[in-house]
Chains A and B, each alone.
Chain A
Amino acid sequence: MSKVFAPDGPGTGILTTWWQSLENDKGTRATLRRCNGPTQVMLHPAYIRLCKRLEPFLNSDHNWELRLARVVGLLAHCRHTTARDLARAMAGDGKPVVSELRFRRLLQEKPDDLYLAMIRILHMLGHTANLPDLISSVYYWGDTVRKRWAFAYFPFVPETKTA
């Protein structure tokens, strides 16, 4: 698999720098946050500029434009960063931040439905996320990511009878 969005990959660097620049460009962030799906993200000039920069790395990936749009849109929903992996953060300490039922449903999401589900998750996490994890997880969403998330989440969530 391509390593463009590995934690130290070139794509991750470009997107992180761009995300930092949103602090001084609140208008762009607001517009992106109001998008109700990746197709709307794709119409925004900021997205198109990012596309231009990332195209050389991504143009051999299947459906890369749409996948990138999901990442860009979701980044606009983040305010703060943390070192904690996303799924680990969802598990919380003691009481899960994202309930087991919701987490299981999240794991079942198809890529197309992930966007809206993740907006809600980011909201629950207080708009705080590990950016490299968010970028690669959303871009490469699939069984490998699902498994990684499950391995990070379940050991920290005590088993409940209802689940």
Chain B
Amino acid sequence: MNLLEDKWLPVHTTQGETHIAPWQISDPDVLALAAPRPDFNGALLQFLIGLLQTACPPDDNNQWGEWLENPPAPETLKLLFEPYTPAFNLDADGPKFMQDYAPLDGVPKPIANLLIETPGDKALKENRDHFIKRGKVNNICPNCAATALFTLQTNAPEGGRGFRTSLRGGGPLTTLVALDTHHGSGNNQQLANSLWRGCWLNVLNKGDLPTLSGNTDLSEPPAIFPWLASTRTSHGKGDITTPKDAHPLQMYWGMPRRIRLDWKQTTRGSCDLCGKKSDSLISRCDTKNYGTNYDGPWKHPLSPHINNKDGLALPQHAQPGGLQYQHWLGLTSTGTNNHPAKIITSYLESEGTGRQLRGEQLRIHVFGYDMKSNKSRCWYETTFPLFPLDAAIREQFIEIAEILIETATGVASMTRSCIKEAWFKRPGDAKGDTNFLQEAFFSHTENAFFTALKTLKDQLDRDQNETRILREWHRTLCDSAFQLFDYWTSRGDFETVNPRRIATAHKKLKNWLYSKKLKKKLQLNNKEKSA
């Protein structure tokens, strides 16, 4: 099986679900990926972006824009992909896609080990596979095996001694640019969404390549596709692979784990992941530790980074609680300590030379695992609007956005603590996770937040002032805080609870919401109110 020639990519088309070869993605009927799992979709999207970035990056923004509007014919892509075909064999003799160059002498493992959430040996021994049980996935088809392999190599978490994490650490956050089909300007000029556009929006220009981390002097294929040569193993502490040791494109094809699919014991039947019938279901793989150990100042173009206390930029990871609009600013604008993904900034910050699209029709598509070392706690995925800004208003826009987020964070936590005071006699001693209250506050106010930002942008563009937006935001915060408070404390049997505690907490919340402190933060003073 070859991943550039065979029809293995699961996709939605205007005619329904089917499988296509990668070169067929420019067919306008192909709408989106249709893998059986969201992490697979996220990985396959990055597979396609990496493939286009490697095989046919645009010369400049003109060519990029040309292909965005008028996708190349599938046959053109087929020709462009052809030179890379040898690197994409999954099972032939010789190098195998994302698998170790030489046979491994390790212990064969069940194929489920390719999936990130599969309980580890220790969890099984201690009988702790409560939520994700062992034995659910035993046989998978080659399509899913290829996807699982790429997903694991792209997201690899810690996996025990010498099992290396991905180039971006365990379960990195990925931010891609996507077309906004719901909130666009609404004219007929809008670009329709398709898989091709979803990928092509995220391909950088050829000229950007030398600006990425990596060594462009290394032009041999193994510098890009590490499985084409013996693995750079990492038994010793100094055996690391830094940007000096690999081509920038290897960021799209990183291979931290040593794995070989076992094709000797295949069976016939349906795949445990996608349900498709196959003649060669795979049930085992060989694995070995001490694979490529990526280290040093790698900066993946599809991921946001954040400085640690030594000033080193590290890839961002999703945290418990998920992705809400308080994270949005850090993902879309450069701050003192954070760097949005290169692909995002290429739309926002290159004055005049930046990529331009008609109307505001872009969103940022964010996804990733929340990992606790090798345990996957959650998969998070969401989209946010992306606002292209003129340099003249950017600073002010960000300043106001920061105020909105900061005040929302304050009110969210105050609402939570008041609700707790209404619930418990001694709220400080109350156990249990009440973070959901803050999360609820953010999801409650998310629409208002982005509406406010859109209005803000329009007003700044027209040189109007922003007091009205801040005043409306104050109202939104108060309304949502009271709504949540009422919902969680005084629903239903009001007479059976302790009305004094509720009333006292309510009063506290009210005082705080109308306090001078909050109003000052929102730059509202009472004089304006009476005026």
A residues in contact (CB < 8 Å) with B: 100, 104, 107-108, 143, 146-147, 150-151, 153-155, 157, 159, 163
Task: Chain B residues near A108: list those with CB within 8 A.
Answer: 495
Q: Of B492, B499, B506, B507, which contacts A107 at CB under 8 A?
A: B499
The reply to whether B503 and A107 contact each other, CB–CB distance below 8 Å, is no
Please tell me the number of chain B residues within 8 Å of chain A, measured between CB atoms. Answer: 13
Chain B, residue nearest A100 (CB): B500
Given A151-B506, A151-B507, A155-B507, are A107 and B494 also a contact pair (CB < 8 Å)?
yes
Closest chain B CB from A107 CB (angstroms): 5
Closest chain A CB from B106 CB (angstroms): 65
- Does B70 touch A at the CB level, under 8 Å? no
Q: Of A143, A153, A163, which contacts B503 at CB under 8 A?
A: A153
**A143 CA to B489 CA in the complex, in Å?**
12
Specify which of B494, B502, B506, B507 lies most central, judged by the most chain A CB atoms within 10 Å of its CB: B494
Task: Chain A residues near B507: list those with CB within 8 A.
Answer: 151, 154-155
Chain B, residue nearest A109 (CB): B495
The A-contacting residues of B in range 490-504, CB under 8 angstroms, are: 490, 492-495, 499-500, 502-504
**A107 CA to B502 CA in the complex, in Å?**
13
14 extra A-B contacts, CB within 8 A, seeds A143-B490, A143-B494, A151-B502: A100-B500, A107-B494, A107-B499, A146-B495, A147-B494, A147-B499, A150-B494, A150-B503, A151-B506, A153-B503, A154-B500, A155-B504, A155-B507, A163-B500
The reply to whether A150 and B492 contact each other, CB–CB distance below 8 Å, is no
Chain B, residue nearest A104 (CB): B499
Chain B, residue nearest A147 (CB): B490
Closest chain B CB from A3 CB (angstroms): 20
Closest chain A CB from B483 CB (angstroms): 13
- Can you list the 6 inter-chain pairs with the closest CB atoms, starting with the nearest? A154-B503, A150-B499, A108-B495, A155-B507, A150-B503, A143-B494
The reply to whether B504 and A107 contact each other, CB–CB distance below 8 Å, is no
The A-contacting residues of B in range 452-495, CB under 8 angstroms, are: 486, 490, 492-495
Task: Chain A residues near B493: list those with CB within 8 A.
Answer: 143
The reply to whether A154 and B504 contact each other, CB–CB distance below 8 Å, is yes
The reply to whether A146 and B494 contact each other, CB–CB distance below 8 Å, is yes
The reply to whether A107 and B500 contact each other, CB–CB distance below 8 Å, is no
**A147 CA to B487 CA in the complex, in Å?**
12
Q: What is the interface of chain B mostly: helix, strand, loop, or mixed?
A: helix
The reply to whether B500 and A151 contact each other, CB–CB distance below 8 Å, is no
Task: Chain B residues near A151: list those with CB within 8 A.
Answer: 502-503, 506-507
Q: Of B490, B492, B494, B503, which contacts A155 at CB under 8 A?
A: B503
**A90 CA to B506 CA in the complex, in Å?**
19
Chain A, residue nearest B503 (CB): A154
**A30 CA to B303 CA in the complex, in Å?**
80
The reply to whether B500 and A159 contact each other, CB–CB distance below 8 Å, is yes
The reply to whether A154 and B499 contact each other, CB–CB distance below 8 Å, is yes
**A157 CA to B499 CA in the complex, in Å?**
12
Closest chain B CB from A86 CB (angstroms): 15
Chain B, residue nearest A152 (CB): B503
Closest chain A CB from B210 CB (angstroms): 64
**A100 CA to B499 CA in the complex, in Å?**
10
Closest chain A CB from B347 CB (angstroms): 48
**A154 CA to B506 CA in the complex, in Å?**
10
**A147 CA to B507 CA in the complex, in Å?**
12
Closest chain A CB from B426 CB (angstroms): 14
Chain B, residue nearest A105 (CB): B495
**A155 CA to B499 CA in the complex, in Å?**
11
Closest chain B CB from A162 CB (angstroms): 13
Closest chain B CB from A120 CB (angstroms): 18
The reply to whether A143 and B492 contact each other, CB–CB distance below 8 Å, is yes
Closest chain B CB from A5 CB (angstroms): 20
Chain A, residue nearest B499 (CB): A150
Closest chain B CB from A69 CB (angstroms): 23
Task: Chain B residues near A100: list those with CB within 8 A.
Answer: 500
Closest chain B CB from A105 CB (angstroms): 9
**A151 CA to B489 CA in the complex, in Å?**
12
Closest chain A CB from B511 CB (angstroms): 9
Task: Chain B residues near A146: list those with CB within 8 A.
Answer: 494-495, 499
Chain B, residue nearest A108 (CB): B495
Task: Chain A residues near B500: list those with CB within 8 A.
Answer: 100, 150, 154, 157, 159, 163
Closest chain B CB from A141 CB (angstroms): 12
Given A150-B503, A154-B500, are A107 and B490 also a contact pair (CB < 8 Å)?
no
Task: Chain B residues near A159: list those with CB within 8 A.
Answer: 500
Chain B, residue nearest A159 (CB): B500
Q: What are 15 A-B contacts defined by CB distance under 8 Å? A: A100-B500, A108-B495, A146-B494, A146-B499, A147-B486, A147-B490, A147-B494, A147-B499, A150-B494, A150-B503, A154-B500, A154-B504, A154-B507, A155-B504, A159-B500
Closest chain B CB from A99 CB (angstroms): 13
The A-contacting residues of B in range 380-415, CB under 8 angstroms, are: none
**A107 CA to B493 CA in the complex, in Å?**
11
**A155 CA to B508 CA in the complex, in Å?**
9
Task: Chain B residues near A163: list those with CB within 8 A.
Answer: 500
Task: Chain A residues near B506: list those with CB within 8 A.
Answer: 151
Closest chain B CB from A146 CB (angstroms): 5
Closest chain A CB from B370 CB (angstroms): 37
Closest chain B CB from A140 CB (angstroms): 14
Task: Chain B residues near A157: list those with CB within 8 A.
Answer: 500
Closest chain A CB from B506 CB (angstroms): 5
Closest chain A CB from B89 CB (angstroms): 68
Closest chain A CB from B298 CB (angstroms): 56
Task: Chain B residues near A155: list those with CB within 8 A.
Answer: 503-504, 507
**A150 CA to B494 CA in the complex, in Å?**
10
**A151 CA to B507 CA in the complex, in Å?**
7
Closest chain A CB from B422 CB (angstroms): 11
Chain B, residue nearest A143 (CB): B494
Closest chain B CB from A151 CB (angstroms): 5
**A151 CA to B503 CA in the complex, in Å?**
5
**A29 CA to B506 CA in the complex, in Å?**
39
